[in-house]
Structure 1
C-alpha cells in the first residue's frame, strides 16, 4: 500500500523534479522533501502552505498526496490557494524576532503561523533556500521604507557597502533592518561595521567587539503596495 511519501515521490518523478527543485517551489529545503518522502516527517506536521505549494508544483491535490483517494491530477481552478508557477517559489514572511533566530532554525518551513509570499521569475532562481521576507516596522528607514512594506532578504548573499541588511545585535532578541556601512577591522582583526538608519532622527549603530552583532541577510527586493 502506497504511503504519503510514496505518492509524493512518484508525483515528483513524473514531473522530473529533484528533491531540491521541489523544495525551492514549496519554500522548503531539499532535505525537508527527503524527510517527507521517507516518512521522517509526519504529513500532519507539514505546514499547510508548504504542502499546498508542493502539490501545486506537482499538479496534484493535497488530498491525493495524503490519502490517495482523490484524482491525482487537479481539475478546475484552485480558488484562493497560493499557486506557484514553474518559474516561481514560496518564501515565508517572518517577524523581527524570528529573523533574529532565522539561521539557527533547522527547518523554517515547519514553523507555525508563517505567511507565504510568492516569488517569481529571475529572483526566485537567485535566492538561496534560506531566503525570507520581512514586513517593515517602525520609522527608522523613512522615507524610502515605510511601515507595511515588504523586503525580501537572502542570508546567502554577503552585503556590499550601501546595501540594506537585516542584522541582529547579540544583546537583543529582535532583528533590525538598516543600511550596511563597513568600517574595516579592529585590532583583533574582527570586522567593524555600522548600521545606518535613513531617518536622521535615529542613531547609527556601530557593531564591533564592544557591541557584537552580525548581519543575517541582504535585501534583494523591496515591495510596496500602492497607497491612495
Structure 2
C-alpha cells in the first residue's frame, strides 16, 4: 500500500460524491484543510498519511464500506464495464475522442450511437455520461485509463473537477480554480502541465465530474 494510493483513493471518494477533498473533509467533520495537497507531505518532504480516524469518519459520512474504499486504494475498478443486466447503462467514450463531431449536441448532451457503454448504479441525471481519461494531466487523481462519470445538470463550484469543451472542439478534464462573469480558470492537477484560462464565449460547455473509478 503506497502513500499516493491512499490519497488518490480519498480524492476519488470525494469525486464520487461530487465533492472536493476539502468538501469531503468538511462533511466528515474534519478541518476543511485536512486533505489539502499541502498537508500530504511535510516541509522536509516526508510523506504524511491520513489517520485511521480521519478515514473512518469520511467512510461514515459518505456511507462507504471498507471494501469499496480498499478497491479505490488498490485500483480495482468499482464500476463494472460491459453490458450486464440490472444496473443502468450510460454512454462511455474516450476523452481523446470527445472533441470529434457527432458525440455531443449543442447543449453538451451525449448523442448518436457511436458510444460504448458502462454499467453503474442509478444516477439522477438522465444525461449523465462516462469518459475514459487519457494522458497524465490529471495525475495522480485520475490516471490514463480511469473512468469518470460526468453530469451536465450538476451545479459546478470552485474546486470541482470538471470536463470542459471549447468552441474549437478541445475537450479536457481539469479542476475549476475560479469562475467569474467573464472568465474561467482551470487547473491541471499534475504540476508538470499548465493551467488554462478561457473567456466564457470560448467555452461550449462545462460539466462536473461526480464519480470516478480507478
Give the TM interval when normalised to the shorter protein. Answer: 0.5 to 0.7
| CA RMSD across the alignment | 2.7
The equivalent residue for 1:208 is: 199
- Aligned twin of 1:182: 178
Question: 1:108 & 1:164 partners in 2: Cα distance?
Answer: 19
Aligned counterpart in structure 1 of residue 163 of structure 2, from 146, 163, 166: 166
Structure 2 match to 1:196: 187
**Consecutive unaligned residues in structure 2, runs of 5 or more:** 1-80
- 2:140 corresponds to: 143
Q: Would you say the 8 A contact 2:110–2:129 is kept in 1? A: no
- Secondary structure of the structure 1 residue equivalent to 2:178: strand
- List aligned pairs for 1:81-120, cutoff 5 A: 82-85=83-86, 88-96=87-95, 97-98=97-98, 102-104=104-106, 108=110, 110-112=112-114, 114-120=115-121
Q: Does the Cα contact within 8 Å between 1:165 and 1:215 map onto a contact in 2? A: no
Residue number in structure 2 paired with 1:45: none
Deviation at 1:134, TM superposition (A): 0.5
For 2:82 and 2:180, how far apart are their aligned partners in 1? 47
TM-score (norm 1): 0.51
Aligned mates of 2:82, 2:158 — CA distance in 1: 39
- Cα 1:125–1:199 change in 2 (3 A) is closer
Q: Report which of the two structures shows the higher radius of gyration computed on alpha carbons.
A: 1
Quick one: higher RCO (CA 8 Å, sep 6+), 1 or 2?
2
Equivalenced residue count is 131
Deviation at 1:169, TM superposition (A): 1.9
Bigger helix fraction: 1
TM-score (normalised: structure 2): 0.54
